[in-house]
Structure 1
Amino acid sequence: MTISTGLSTAKSGIDRQFVGKSYGPMTDKEQGDATAILNHTPVGLKGKLHVAGFNIPLGKSDRLSDETDHPEVETFSFVTDDDRFAVTEEDEKIPLRVRIDMLGSRVTGTITRPSPKYGSVAFSLNPTDEGFSHSDLRGVLHPERVSTQSVRPDEISIPSEGVPTDNSIRNAPAAENTSTAENSVGTSDYITPPGGGGDNDDDVGFLDADNTPTWGGERTHTFEDRCGEDSTSMSWTYEFGTSADVRYNTDGTIATDYDEIAALGGFKRYQMQAHFSEVPDRMLLPCDQDMEEGMPYQTNVEFWARQKGSTEQNEAALSEPQPDEKDNSPNPGDGILDLGLDIVNSVSGVYGSVASTVIKYALNDSSGSGIEVDHNRLGDQEEYHWMLPLDGGPEDDTEGNRYFPDHTENVAGASFHVENGLPPGYTAELETRSQFEFAYIDYLGGCPCPSFSTALKTTKTSVVSNSLTYTSVER
């Protein structure tokens, strides 16, 4: 069998057969075979995708349009609530969400459901006319040579068909958080605003954030002995913190600290913020001719918030999620959504340089925000779930990796309103989570420099969790 090397240019305007594998992106556990027939032209994509037991038509009435500004990658996505793809739970229809990325003749993507209960299935496809088969694509998963980023990957199962739940942001094991209340930001870090301050001059404290990051991940590819290279790898560190503000009295004294809310109707907005202190680096070796195409790029980020333990919704109600799918839209022409936050002073901890008043999202849908926000009742508790599609294209960021939120003034985030229904002296518990998805080029077979073949893959960071408490205090 002959396998072409590098990333060949996709043939445009003809039906082309692709084969590969579907897998769980947190663990790289194989689910099964995946195939596609794609007709790709400059005006869009049509065809069929067979993955996870679904036969999904693509662009049946109108060609799917490219939704990204990435210089090499084309992204196509849609949501379908047809009965054969959707599931109904508690009288609510949950659709199927499909994303396809094409980089030359390499294809990757995910299918999921916009619900915190569901995770995702990823797939990686290469063209059969270049000599690829299902068994070739199995090699790119190489789970025995992967240092997975999930804390307990054996506890995550991937069904042979359908969208899994074990690897969802709600159900997946969270990375261990080593932070404590003592090493989070406390009142000793605050400076009372001159002239008494007030709500518009609020300081910020982090209810939970890890000052010694442990939330890293790694992918390693080991070459055959005859290739003359031992291995190549990529690694990353994804950090996540949740903050609230300090409220001042008119005389400049603290009315409620960052971890306090006034009793019986007091409220605060909590900010969830995440970034890569170590961005994913490329797997391809420096000698390979497609280094720029091998740059990892962002695809999606999720956030999640709910009451925890015995705390009930009427004791700590959540509301007003930002961003949401209705009230936000990208700035004209740049695909950036600005979200104003009450962050006006620098703070210590993981986000020591946060001083920006906006959080920016590079959204991948040029016709609208593409944001999906889900609100669920869980007995006496509730939860919010955000899914933010991201544009893999380069941003004007000369300080770090162009494709990721890589420093604390360019973070991915969301926020929610907390209303306190408890009397003074009581404590409420909340939990927030985040997970980031990205794609990258991995070696498939052969030897690098110059004889190699590759596949485009999707993976995720660990689900990172924050444990939050606040005390109900007198007004």
Structure 2
Amino acid sequence: MKQPNKEGDTSYHSRRSVLGSVAAASGTAAITSIGTVAADGPNKFIGKTYDPVTDKEQGNATAVLDFAPDGLKGTLSAAGFDIDLGVDEPLSDHGNNSNSSMYTFMKNTDEYSVNYNGKNLPLHGRLDVIGSQITGTLKRPSAEYGPLAFSLSPISDGITAEDIGRALKPDRRREIVTGFSEVSLPKKGIPTSNSVRNMYTSRKVEDNRNIGDNTGLSSEIEPSDDDEYDVGAIVRNLSPESSDYHFYPSRCDKDSRTINWECQYATFGTRRYDSDGELMTSEHEIAFSNDKRWHMQLYFEDPPDPHVEPCDQDEGIPFQTNIEFWAGHSDESDLNDVEFRHPRPKDSDDDNGTNSEFLGTVLNIVGVVGGKWGQIGSTIVGYALLNGSGSSGPSVSDTGTGEKQEFYWDLPLDDYAADNTGNKYFPAHPDDAAGANITVDNKAGHGHYIDVRTRARFEWLHLEYYDAKCPCEHSGTFAKRTTTDLIDRTGSYKSVEV
């Protein structure tokens, strides 16, 4: 992530004097380049709810929030809900980003929850506070529902809901979001058309049917140690998997700037060896009545650039907030062919230490692998899952209808620990890849090819402008959410006898 060199920049420091912030009130330091919020009483905010995938607007949002040393309390009115926060006790900041504060909540009473397929789905919420600006999401723990974002600014700053509405960029998102025209937002409530399962995308299929059996294949390296896995790519990208490259005029001179990012995604399958170290089944094969682990991995070859001018940008913004993974049957497969089990990471309410064990998994990439992944050799799951339970930790659901099954991961992200040697704010290296994995249990007869579908989408927080003034003189900024396009891949394996 490109950041300005602020060492010795007196204009930067004089314009951005630290006046005290929400995070400072709760005992942490913060950069306050976009104003501050008083910590001595309720503050009124106004803004918009919108789809972070397409930037399509839903409606107005308001909040009355009290930031005190012991936490956050108040009321958030958004998407038709009036949500009381910190009723029993103030919400605590449990994020790891020194430049922002982060609060989460869950509401499961009748006025907030819905029933879907016989399951009660609560309302999950997250708020990120940067200086005087707030952005967050409302969600439900199911692949049926997508994210709904909100952005709020203090009324005392003279900002209106229309100001923030002007800063949403659906025309810019239209250029990169495949299913843009299919997304519609309800007047109230949480949308479904933008969910990781329901959203339309141009599906790509990795054709493995010309591979044949494993005759002639041999292991390219010795079988790995017990704490590592040899894997090959089942589905992978030979070009940027999800990317954006956008020119826009500078607000302060005649030059133009660019916003760009590029992420890489692949699904890997484990290899099996016999006692002599000879390859029994490749990544494209699963023995009848046997299983393999399939690993979904994503990292940013080029992390998202700031959406604002260098003179108005702070260290640590943009930063990661969430990632979704999905795995399920294709249109041509069902439970008679393949069953999915043992997801990692697990739901935070049923963790038992498995999520900490899941992080740090080493995958040795072997076989024929194209694109960026073929140049790596190994990849490690090392991104920063947000610890906690309920709305503050991983949500993993196993659902399906009839002969179909799916697993859905909704994983809130935090900053890496201070000793992380890579990018603190994004999984920007194969050694810090975001990932999820699952057992693929083969039930198909010998010689059959079975399709499995996987999906992924990454979300982050950044700053955006709502006016056309030069930010070095007047910074009309607010905080918002955005995502990659939905990545959709179908891979196949062959059922074999060994």
- The TM-score with structure 2 as length reference comes to 0.85
Asked if 1:241 is matched to 2:241, the reply is: no
Cα gap change, 1:359 to 1:308, in 2 (>3 Å): same
User: Of the candidates 163, 172, 183, which is equivalent to residue 136 of structure 1?
Assistant: 163
Question: 1:360 is matched by which residue type in structure 2?
Answer: G
Q: Indicate the residue corresponding to 2:307 in structure 1.
A: 283
Q: Indicate the residue corresponding to 2:11 in structure 1.
A: none
User: Of the candidates 14, 31, 34, which is equivalent to residue 61 of structure 2?
Assistant: 34
After superposition, residues 247-262 of structure 1 pair within 5 angstroms as 247-262=272-287
User: Could you tell me whether the CA contact under 8 Å between 2:147 and 2:191 is conserved in 1?
Assistant: yes
Cα gap change, 1:355 to 1:449, in 2 (>3 Å): same
Cα gap change, 1:257 to 1:218, in 2 (>3 Å): same
What is the DSSP-based 3-state SS (H/G/I as helix, E as strand, rest coil) of the residue aligned with 2:53? coil
What is the DSSP-based 3-state SS (H/G/I as helix, E as strand, rest coil) of the residue aligned with 1:402? coil
What is the DSSP-based 3-state SS (H/G/I as helix, E as strand, rest coil) of the residue aligned with 1:138? helix
After superposition, residues 313-328 of structure 1 pair within 5 angstroms as 313-325=335-347, 326-327=350-351
What is the DSSP-based 3-state SS (H/G/I as helix, E as strand, rest coil) of the residue aligned with 1:135? helix
Q: Indicate the residue corresponding to 2:433 in structure 1.
A: 411
Q: Indicate the residue corresponding to 1:273 in structure 2.
A: 297
Q: Indicate the residue corresponding to 2:403 in structure 1.
A: 380
Question: 1:51 is matched by which residue type in structure 2?
Answer: A
Question: 2:359 is matched by which residue type in structure 1?
Answer: L
Once the 2 structures are TM-superposed, how far is the Cα of residue 220 of structure 1 from its aligned partner? Answer: 6.1
CA distance in 2, matches of 1:280, 1:134: 26
Higher share in helix: 2
User: Could you tell me whether the CA contact under 8 Å between 1:106 and 1:455 is conserved in 2?
Assistant: yes
User: Could you tell me whether the CA contact under 8 Å between 1:304 and 1:385 is conserved in 2?
Assistant: yes
Report Cα offsets for 1:243-272 as digits up to 9, x if no partner.
Answer: 112212233432111111111x11111111
What is the DSSP-based 3-state SS (H/G/I as helix, E as strand, rest coil) of the residue aligned with 1:174? coil
Cα gap change, 1:73 to 1:221, in 2 (>3 Å): farther
Report Cα offsets for 1:117-176 as digits up to 9, x if no partner.
Answer: 100111111000111111111111143455543113111111221100111000112355
Report Cα offsets for 1:232-253 as digits up to 9, x if no partner.
Answer: 4422112211111221223343
User: Could you tell me whether the CA contact under 8 Å between 2:174 and 2:180 is conserved in 1?
Assistant: no
CA distance in 2, matches of 1:201, 1:408: 15
Q: Indicate the residue corresponding to 1:100 in structure 2.
A: 127
User: Could you tell me whether the CA contact under 8 Å between 1:297 and 1:393 is conserved in 2?
Assistant: no
Which of 430-439 and 148-157 deviates more?
148-157
Higher share in strand: 1
Q: Indicate the residue corresponding to 2:324 in structure 1.
A: 302
- The TM-score with structure 1 as length reference comes to 0.88
Asked if 1:471 is matched to 2:471, the reply is: no
Cα gap change, 1:221 to 1:457, in 2 (>3 Å): farther
CA distance in 2, matches of 1:415, 1:441: 32
User: Of the candidates 336, 343, 354, which is equivalent to residue 363 of structure 2?
Assistant: 343
Cα gap change, 1:177 to 1:202, in 2 (>3 Å): same
What is the DSSP-based 3-state SS (H/G/I as helix, E as strand, rest coil) of the residue aligned with 1:163? coil
Cα gap change, 1:127 to 1:229, in 2 (>3 Å): farther
Q: Indicate the residue corresponding to 2:460 in structure 1.
A: 438
CA distance in 2, matches of 1:330, 1:315: 28
> Runs of 5+ in structure 2 lacking a partner?
1-14, 17-32
Which of 429-438 and 148-157 deviates more?
148-157
Once the 2 structures are TM-superposed, how far is the Cα of residue 419 of structure 1 from its aligned partner? Answer: 1.1
> Runs of 5+ in structure 1 lacking a partner?
none
Q: Indicate the residue corresponding to 1:426 in structure 2.
A: 448
CA distance in 1, matches of 2:278, 2:44: 68
CA distance in 2, matches of 1:131, 1:83: 36
Question: 1:235 is matched by which residue type in structure 2?
Answer: N
Matched residues, number: 459
Which of 149-158 and 364-373 deviates more?
364-373
User: Could you tell me whether the CA contact under 8 Å between 2:387 and 2:393 is conserved in 1?
Assistant: yes
Once the 2 structures are TM-superposed, how far is the Cα of residue 212 of structure 1 from its aligned partner? Answer: 1.3
After superposition, residues 81-160 of structure 1 pair within 5 angstroms as 81-146=108-173, 148-160=175-187
Once the 2 structures are TM-superposed, how far is the Cα of residue 379 of structure 1 from its aligned partner? Answer: 1.4
User: Could you tell me whether the CA contact under 8 Å between 1:285 and 1:448 is conserved in 2?
Assistant: yes
